[in-house]
Amino acid sequence: MEKWNIDDLSVGMLVEATFWANPVQTSDFRFRATHLDGRRAPKVVLCDDMRIVPGTPCRVRIKAIKKPAREDRGSIEVEFDRLMEFRLDGVYLDPVVSKKLQVLLESGLNILLDGPQGCGKTVTARSIAQTLGMEFVFFNCGAVIDASDFLATIQVRASESGSPVTDFTKTEVLEALEDALESPEKRYLIFLDELNRCPESARNALMPALDSSRRLFHPIENRFIRIGDNVQFVAAVNRGGEFSATFGIDAAQLDRFAPVQMDYLPADEEVKLLKSRHPELSEAILKRIVSLAAKVRQAAEISGGLSVRATDEVCVYLKHPLFAEQPHKDLPEILKSSFCGRFAGRWDDVTTDAGAVWALIQRGATKEA
């Protein structure tokens, strides 16, 4: 992320910042921030206004820049202007979902993003971290087999004598937890992707990390480590009978999260997203792609959903020179792969989900004609 140059900031300038409690007990300022307008500030940003809500973006005015010539000292003092509605740059959020996330982020609760595949859960979590100036730590729970896998992986190698030696390698989660204790001024968002794709027995090890105990067993040092208040957990799951290789989440585990339901983008927002990614394509073809995707997603007879990755893939095909000359004509053939191919069976077998999707596409094409 680009960092501010001290010369680009001036007294009286209005900027956006997200503040947290100042860990320096002797400071005259109760709140501090590290970013201005989403860019890293060259000095710590300080404010003492009680109208500030930790974790909530607000607009502030720069009133003093202390020791601007010193890279290792000084601060930027600001005065409160007003709170701002929580938003994520480049990411659409349903207004109600946005409000829920703002409340949960301010409260420091663990968040569980629950929604169909490809609806933007990972992008949302990453954007939250970027917007709030948090260190983003991505962890794929689908690779976890044993409880210790969350914090360390085991490597077996041969020693000089030829006998096996076991080495432990820290995961990014463990590194982040240790760094958070050493750097209380920084904030960390640990994203547990596909949480229900690891066995329930392994997830049990996370339970004391997610409740008021706020600790986790360190498999390398054989002790429990404390989890700092500057660490927040966000997890993502796909729940439903159409998902294989997943495990149920019991009530005790689920109760340690605040669940937030997500869904696919509204059609006009998905068109905007695809247009930003594929400006070479006309709005007419993008609307046609999204309209057909919506029909598939809303069809009660089809199990499973159709991710935004599918509509994005269609665009990749259509803007390629091999298909760019007649995109509307080639679209049905592309959808046989990008849409029908994501469901069981074949597009030409009406008894399968893939065949049902193709039938929807044909009906949609007939109505358009």
pLDDT above 90 covers a percentage of the chain that reads 53
Exposure class string for 161-187: b at 16+ Cβ within 10 A, else e: eeeeeeebebbebbebbebbeeeeebb
Residue 58 belongs to domain with CATH number: 2.40.50.140
231 and 305 assigned to the same domain? no
User: What does the pLDDT look like over 160-210, one tens digit per residue?
Assistant: 777 777 777 899 999 999 999 998 878 899 999 999 888 888 888 899 999
Q: Residue 243 pLDDT > 50, yes or no? A: no
pLDDT band at 239, cuts 50/70/90?
low
Q: Residue 331 pLDDT > 50, yes or no? A: yes
pLDDT at site 244: 44
112 and 252 assigned to the same domain? yes
Identify the domain boundary among 228, 261, 294: 261
236 and 114 assigned to the same domain? yes
φ, ψ for residue 289, nearest 5 deg = -60, -50
Cβ pair 339, 357 in contact under 8 A: yes
Strand partners, 165: 157
**Residue 123 covered by a domain:** yes
192 and 299 assigned to the same domain? no
Contacts of 267 (CB under 8 A, 6+ apart): 287, 290, 291, 294
Cβ pair 191, 135 in contact under 8 A: no
113 and 194 assigned to the same domain? yes
114 and 215 assigned to the same domain? yes
How many CB atoms are located within 10 Å of the residue 152 CB? 19
Total residues found in the chain within this entry: 369
Q: Residue 233 pLDDT > 70, yes or no? A: yes
112 and 229 assigned to the same domain? yes
202 and 121 assigned to the same domain? yes
Q: What is the pTM of this model?
A: 0.73
236 and 291 assigned to the same domain? no
pLDDT band at 310, cuts 50/70/90?
very high
| Torsion 175-180-181-185 (CA) sign | positive
**Residue 141 covered by a domain:** yes
pLDDT at site 245: 46
Please give the mean pLDDT across all residues of the chain: 88
**Residue 242 covered by a domain:** yes
How many CB atoms are located within 10 Å of the residue 85 CB? 10
Cβ pair 238, 116 in contact under 8 A: yes
DSSP-derived letter for residue 266 is P
pLDDT at site 253: 87
128 and 224 assigned to the same domain? yes
DSSP-derived letter for residue 302 is S
149 and 235 assigned to the same domain? yes
**Residue 88 covered by a domain:** no
**Residue 90 covered by a domain:** no
Domain span at residue 24?
A: 6-83
Residue 253 belongs to domain with CATH number: 3.40.50.300
User: What does the pLDDT look like over 41-99, one tens digit per residue?
Assistant: 999 999 999 888 887 889 999 999 999 988 888 999 999 988 777 777 678 888 888 88
pLDDT band at 156, cuts 50/70/90?
confident
User: What does the pLDDT look like over 131-144, one tens digit per residue?
Assistant: 777 899 999 998 88
Element of type H or E holding 212: none
The count of domains in the chain is 3
Q: Residue 117 pLDDT > 60, yes or no? A: yes
133 and 253 assigned to the same domain? yes
HSE of 164, CA atoms in CB hemisphere, 13 A: 4
70-74, 111-115, 176-180, 261-265: least confidently modelled range: 70-74
Question: Measured between alpha carbons, how far is 229 from 155 in angstroms, rounded to an integer?
Answer: 31
